[in-house]
Amino acid sequence: MIAAEWFTQELIGNFFFRYLHILAGIAWIGLLYYFNFVQVPGLAAYGDEGKARNITITQIATRALWWFRWAAIATLATGLLITIVVPDYMNNFMNHEGSSPANATNAAITVGMTLGILMAANVWMIIWKNQKVVIANATNVLNGGEANPDAATAGRRAMLASRQNMIFSVSMLFYMVGTSHFYTVFKATPGNANTFVLISCVIIALLQLNALGKFGGIKAGNKMLWPYESHKNAIISSVVLWAVLFLVSISVFS
DSSP codes, 9-28: HHHIIIIIHHHHHHHHHHHH
| 101: helix, strand or coil | strand
Instruction: Indicate if the pLDDT at residue 94 is higher than 90.
Output: no
Rounded distance between C-alpha atoms, residue 176 and residue 181, angstroms: 9
Residue ranges per structural domain of the chain: 6-253
Tell me the per-residue pLDDT of 184-243, one tens digit each, with 9 for 90 and over.
888 888 888 899 999 999 999 999 999 999 999 999 999 999 999 999 999 999 999 999
Confidence of residue 87 (pLDDT cuts 50, 70, 90): confident
- Whether residue 60 contacts residue 114, with contact meaning beta carbons closer than 8 Å, is answered with no
DSSP letter assigned to residue 1: -
| Helix H or strand E encompassing 233 | helix 231-253
User: What residue type is assigned to position 10 of the chain?
Assistant: E
Does the reported pTM lie above 0.85? Answer: yes
The answer to whether the Cα torsion of 59, 64, 70, 72 is positive or negative is: negative
Which pLDDT score is estimated for 95? 44
List the alpha helices (DSSP H) in 143-223: 151-181, 190-211
Rounded distance between C-alpha atoms, residue 111 and residue 197, angstroms: 6
What is the distance in angstroms between the CA of the first residue and the CA of the last residue of the chain? 45
Tell me the per-residue pLDDT of 99-111, one tens digit each, with 9 for 90 and over.
444 588 889 999 9
- The number of residues making up the chain comes to 254
- Whether residue 217 contacts residue 128, with contact meaning beta carbons closer than 8 Å, is answered with no
Which pLDDT score is estimated for 92? 60
The mean per-residue pLDDT over the stretch 157-176 comes to: 97
Which pLDDT score is estimated for 4? 59
Backbone conformation region of residue 217, classed left if phi is above 0, alpha if psi is from -120 to 50, else beta: left
